[in-house]
Structure 1
């Protein structure tokens, strides 16, 4: 890492989170994706996204109100679409509301912390389109894949986050690396936490 901002942020994040990212990939077998797996995945994603989007939204509101340049957090929200997908699979509104939510590290208070979390959020959104294709190919209804389907806006969000990460100061980048690493660890633990039916990962 250099003493000036510029060009190294995204690589620092990738290096710091590579091992956890690989373990997460190993928890998801797209070849065996079916409707039960899809329901499990959406429940896990809602439990993670809802508190994560809430925390990032609070950070964004504070920075936008102060006139500071902040990434477009509202456009990245997917929790509502995930809830809709679950309802398409037969869950009631009450069942969706009662699904467990994941614990998270303390809410971000700095630009570096927020961008570290956005790195994880944006990467998850891009990977969703791959899952959606396999899900539909294996009989999952299109209406239950809206939160994962390809969206050109997600590519724009990723590019925005990448550019912002590459322009962080060394101190801010250190915060981003720590925030992303912590969130990936939470993500991994959340996928391994049993659901109400005793399921963990892609059993």
Structure 2
């Protein structure tokens, strides 16, 4: 599949933030310790709760996206309960002002399902308890198809002029910033 122009723009503009987030989360150590794992899952819950709340009015009506089915908050909530944790109160909900911004922010959430799939596979080859981590692999074997479907919607909305590339990038950058705020210790 040929990558749309907007993906090259997004990767170029957000690559440093993406790497900084991955480095700051300290995932491996946190997954091995029950208390740190619980805090990490609570962070994912907060991140998704704030983002999904703000994205719903913008993304639910987008044809072909099926935002409601992509929401991971219920799964993360069940994982958090399984770990004996509680959701943290909302910290900072992004102000979504355009479809482009919403799609950029959602790019970060959906992209984490790709990384989560890799993490899930890596953990399956270790002795790390996977309780409370089902949200890492929300789509299972359909992860690639779900990602391609999202990219097709993103490309369509960008190409049609309904989602400006600068707004998409701004939403993605804020998404990485919000994730870092919620997910780092």
Pairwise TM-score range, normalised by the shorter structure: 0.7 to 0.9
2:139 is aligned with 1:147: no
Any stretches of 5+ residues in structure 2 without a counterpart?
A: none
Hey, what's the Cα distance between the residues in 2 that align with 1:165 and 1:11? 12
Asked whether the 8 Å contact 1:131–1:148 carries over to 2, the reply is yes
Asked whether the 8 Å contact 1:38–1:135 carries over to 2, the reply is no
Alignment coverage as a number of residue pairs = 176
Partner of 2:79: 85
Tell which structure's C-alpha radius of gyration is larger: 1
Q: Residues 189-200 of structure 1: matches in 2 within 5 Å?
A: 189-192=181-184, 200=185
Asked whether the 8 Å contact 1:46–1:101 carries over to 2, the reply is no
Shift of 1:159: 0.7
Q: Residues 166-181 of structure 1: matches in 2 within 5 Å?
A: 166-167=155-156, 168-169=158-159, 172-181=164-173
Q: With structure 1 as the length reference, what TM-score do the two structures score?
A: 0.75
Any stretches of 5+ residues in structure 1 without a counterpart?
A: 1-5, 193-199
Q: Residues 111-122 of structure 1: matches in 2 within 5 Å?
A: 111-122=99-110
Hey, what's the Cα distance between the residues in 2 that align with 1:58 and 1:40? 29
Larger fraction in helix: 2
Hey, what's the Cα distance between the residues in 2 that align with 1:23 and 1:54? 25
Secondary structure of the corresponding residue to residue 84 of structure 2: coil
Asked whether the 8 Å contact 2:54–2:94 carries over to 1, the reply is no
Deviations 1:143-162 (A, max 9, x none): 41211136233322211222
Q: With structure 2 as the length reference, what TM-score do the two structures score?
A: 0.81
Partner of 1:3: none
Farther-moved stretch of structure 1 (7-16 vs 126-135)? 126-135
Asked whether the 8 Å contact 2:38–2:83 carries over to 1, the reply is yes
Partner of 2:179: 187
Query: Please, which of 71, 93, 113 is the counterpart of residue 125 of structure 1?
Result: 113
Asked whether the 8 Å contact 1:71–1:160 carries over to 2, the reply is yes
